Structures are given as structure tokens and as C-alpha cells.
């Protein structure tokens, strides 16, 4: 499959992996938008939030507990951080493999651009 994130999961292209288990992988974003910026993705190729299946509920819950733990490990849990999922064209999604951005170590703005 011609999916850049599946290639990262399969080790076909290099990445800076910070966490991996049976269901998810996390790696540094190649174009960081904050001093801390990593992505947490399911190993299962789910195109976007719109393609989630009911049976993926546990997987998504797992991703959020992984984010909780990585945020503590990277020292952003106390000051806070932002979790972002972009879905589809209007959402600004550029890679069609569902992913959660985790950004920290700077104050975020609202509303987003």
C-alpha cells in the first residue's frame, strides 16, 4: 500500500520512533510545529476518523492512554499540551492514515487557523 505511515510502521522508511506496541506506534513529526511534536498512529491502516469502525473503539481509547503516558515522559503533562486529529480536506489532513498530533512546550492559540 502506498501509505507513508504504513511504510514507517513496516520500517521501509526511517523515522524517529519514540514508542511502539502491538497496536500503535509514535514518532517525531518531521516538520515540528512546537518544541515537542510527535504523532501517535494505529498500526491498522484507518484512512481517517470518518473510516473508523465501531470495533475500533478500544484502539482509539488505547491511543489516548498512550498519549497520556508519553506526555508525562516528555515532560508536558503538567503545563499541558494539544492533541489534534485532522480529518479530510477541510480538516487539513495531508496523510491518509489516521494520526493524532501531540504538541507541547509552547502556549497554543485558539481558534486554530
Length, in residues, of the chain: 113
Cα separation, 68 vs 50, in Å, equals: 24
101 catalytic, yes or no? no
- Choosing among Zn ion, ligand AMP, none, which partner's interface includes residue 97 (Cβ < 5 to 8 Å by kind)? Zn ion
41 vs 71 by CB, closer to Zn ion = 41
Which of 38, 48, 9, 13 minimizes the C-alpha distance to 25?
A: 9
71 vs 99 by CB, closer to ligand AMP = 99
| CA 86 from centre of chain | 10
C-alpha cell at 60: 482509539
45 vs 106 by CB, closer to Zn ion = 45
37, 45, 97, 99: the catalytic one is 99
Q: Catalytic site residues? A: 99
Give residues in contact with Zn ion (CB under 5 A).
3, 5-6, 45, 97
Amino acid at each position: 500500500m502506498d501509505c507513508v505511515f504504513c511504510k514507517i510502521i513496516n520500517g521501509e522508511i526511517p523515522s524517529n520512533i519514540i514508542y511502539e506496541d502491538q497496536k500503535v506506534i509514535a514518532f517525531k513529526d518531521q516538520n515540528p510545529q512546537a518544541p515537542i511534536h510527535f504523532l501517535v498512529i494505529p498500526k491498522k491502516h484507518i484512512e481517517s476518523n470518518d473510516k473508523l469502525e465501531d470495533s475500533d473503539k478500544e484502539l482509539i481509547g488505547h491511543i489516548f492512554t498512550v498519549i497520556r503516558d508519553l506526555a508525562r515522559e516528555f515532560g508536558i503533562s503538567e503545563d499541558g499540551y494539544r492533541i489534534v486529529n485532522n480529518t479530510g480536506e477541510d480538516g487539513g489532513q495531508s496523510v491518509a492514515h489516521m494520526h493524532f498530533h501531540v504538541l507541547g512546550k509552547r502556549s497554543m492559540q485558539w481558534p486554530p487557523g
